[in-house]
Amino acid sequence: MRKIFNVSADCKPDLHYMVDISERLQDIKELIDRGEYFTINRARQYGKTTTLRALKRYLKEDYTVISLDFQKLDAAKFRDGNVFSLVFASYFLRQIKREATNCSDRMKEELGALEEIVCKGSVTFSLFELFVYLSQICEASDKPIVMMIDEVDSAANNQVFLDFLAQLRGYYIDRDEVSIFHSVILAGVYDIKSLQVKLGPNEEHKTNSPWNIAADIDIDMSLSKQGIAGMLDDYEQDCRTGMECEKLAALIYDYTSGYPFLVSKICKLIDEKIAGSPEFPGKSDAWTKEGFLAAVRILLLEENTLFESLDNKLIDFPELKQMLKDLLLNGRMIEYVPGDIGIRMAVMFGFAVLNKGVLAVSNRIFETRLYNGFLAEQARHLEISEIAEEEKNQFVGVYLCSI
């Protein structure tokens, strides 16, 4: 069966057309080789999970990689430290047994000791005790252990998660004296170092400071023109459309700035919607500039998971919405100011990028959709205002007549 362009969940090399990210994986491996603890923070559907899964395969010769996903744990598991410790231990054991299949006798003993605790379901198993066992397992492991946690946002508004980070931090600082994970990667939308959480009904928001050991990373996770062209080359080998891969890749990049979801979505629309339509009957007709523009028009008018997520952010953060309105409708130049929450959110959620210290919308697709949405909203408000004024005048006229 021929591969397809994927826009849901992670991309799998055997099933989906993908951009080669081996250079990105090597850059991340260099951080891991140095024993860094770091975060990968990008907007929704920016390829974080795909990158983590590819990284796990990339590292398997040199490391034992434990890959966890906090989205699989319901919120109740993070409300109590003892419950979380048991659930985490169970999850960790399940994953490490898959990865460390030929472990030493000592490693088996340490895993067995932790498994006994989990089976007993002790109500007094604290985070401190959990990390004692994790440290012993790391010490007994034949290979250095790398822990990757995806969707950490799912837990980040809970005190237990902050306590978990604090334990990681403590062991990281003492790693010359006690064994612990060689490297830890946390992935999510939010910047873990700047997350604020509500610890109680009468307490102020506090900053997520226990993760101040995280290394600063500057890894570009957008897709390059060359990478997109390589993906189109793979497709062309299967389908023989006669497309000019480099020119189409440049067009796709020009409109998306390499945002992974948008790149794949446009390709998927051309392949599955545009090709075979009355205007573009064959694949050779669809994989052209005209076919590309037709796909962009469909994309701008549709509702999809990415656009829904962005729309929700505009509702949740009115100050972010106003800033984007000022940028697009009023032409205001917004310069970067360190600590500005609005700018940080705009970049973190993928709406905008910083270009030489000035805020700019991330790509032409976002710019067009936001602009159209703001204009439509303005028109609706104007229409409502005019109707209200007309009804007001009618009411005043009726009132005067009655006098």
Average pLDDT value for residue range 277-289: 97
**pLDDT for residue 245:** 97
Lowest mean pLDDT among 80-94, 238-252, 259-273: 80-94
Task: State the Cα–Cα distance between residues 173 and 397, nearest whole angstrom.
Answer: 77
**pLDDT for residue 217:** 81
Task: State the Cα–Cα distance between residues 278 and 140, nearest whole angstrom.
Answer: 64
Residue 394 pLDDT greater than 70, yes or no: no
Closest among 127, 121, 124 to 78, alpha carbons compared? 127
CB burial of 332-369 (b: ≥16 within 10 Å; e: otherwise) equals eebeeeeeeebbebbbbbbbbeeeeeebbbbbebbbbb
Lowest mean pLDDT among 241-245, 294-298, 336-340: 336-340
Average pLDDT value for residue range 222-238: 97
Percent of the chain exceeding pLDDT 70 equals 89
- 218 CB-near residues (< 8 Å, 6+ apart): none
User: Does this model's pTM top 0.75?
Assistant: yes
Q: Which strand ranges, in their side-by-side order, compose the sheet holding 145-150?
A: 37-41, 183-188, 145-150, 64-69
Closest among 326, 320, 374, 323 to 349, alpha carbons compared? 320
**pLDDT, tens digit, for every residue of 153-198?**
777 667 888 889 899 999 999 999 999 999 999 998 876 655 554 3
DSSP-based three-state secondary structure for 92? helix
Query: What does DSSP assign to residue 185?
Result: E
**pLDDT, tens digit, for every residue of 21-60?**
999 999 999 999 999 999 898 888 899 999 999 999 999 9
**pLDDT for residue 209:** 58
**pLDDT for residue 54:** 95
